[in-house]
Amino acid sequence: MSLCMLGKKIGMTQIFNKIGNAIPVTILQIGPCTITQIKNNKKNKNANIQIGYEYINPSKLKKPNIGHFKKYKVPCFKYTKEYRSNLWDTLKIGKVITIRQLKIGHYINVSGTSIGKGFSGYQKRHHFHRGPMSHGSKNHRQPGSIGAGTTPGRVLPGKKMAGRMGNKKTTIKNLEIININIQENTLTIKGSVPGKNGNIIYIYNK
């Protein structure tokens, strides 16, 4: 069964296996999430399923959001996420989803917002090579030519240049689950996860 949930990144550490090798791992706090809406499409078998994460006081939400949760008689949530699935027959609005369905050794995909690096040069942003550093060279870190002259007479869209780096949605696929703590709703997965500690992340397996 496909499982999609929201959570937070706790941080990174390392564990040691039986032969003494250090394995970098990330600890995630996932769920519990509640199904807040199910929109099925009559033309096909897929349905859009909305889940809510982290309870919030209704006074901190806007009236349209409060009305949405009242319509389906579910608590108010700070974060919501909608995904598409064809295995929705066994689901119902108000059902709480936890990490009990996951098992050690399974692989999941994790999406999050990468750490923003601000305005970065083209070498750091696109891994371009620098110019010669010898005396007399006037091209150490300059970008060089950015296009032709008279024709087309402009910079074409998509040109790799300096600009804002990071702060984008990033997905890491096939991360192995090393450990599961059902009492504290935490997952220990092998490898790194995009974003800073405390950032909202989205996990799914299909």
Does residue 14 surpass a pLDDT of 80? yes
**Residue 108 near residue 189 (C-beta atoms within 8 A):** yes
Within a domain: 81: yes
Within a domain: 163: no
Question: Which pLDDT does position 206 carry in this prediction?
Answer: 65
Within a domain: 148: no
Within a domain: 12: yes
Within a domain: 135: no
Task: Count how many domains the chain has.
Answer: 1
Within a domain: 180: yes
pLDDT tens digits, 59-85 = 999 999 999 999 999 999 999 999 988
Residue 10's CATH number: 2.40.30.10
Q: Determine how many CB atoms are found less than 10 A away from the CB of residue 52.
A: 23
Does residue 204 surpass a pLDDT of 60? yes
Within a domain: 137: no
Within a domain: 153: no
pLDDT tens digits, 27-54 = 999 989 999 999 887 777 788 899 999 9
Question: Which pLDDT does position 132 carry in this prediction?
Answer: 92
In this prediction, residues 140-162 reach a mean pLDDT of 91
Write out the E strands in the chain.
3-16, 22-30, 33-40, 47-55, 77-85, 96-97, 107-113, 118-120, 163-165, 169-181, 186-190, 200-205
pTM as predicted: 0.84
pLDDT tens digits, 99-133 = 998 999 999 999 999 999 999 999 999 999 999 99
- Host domain of residue 102: 3-114+169-205
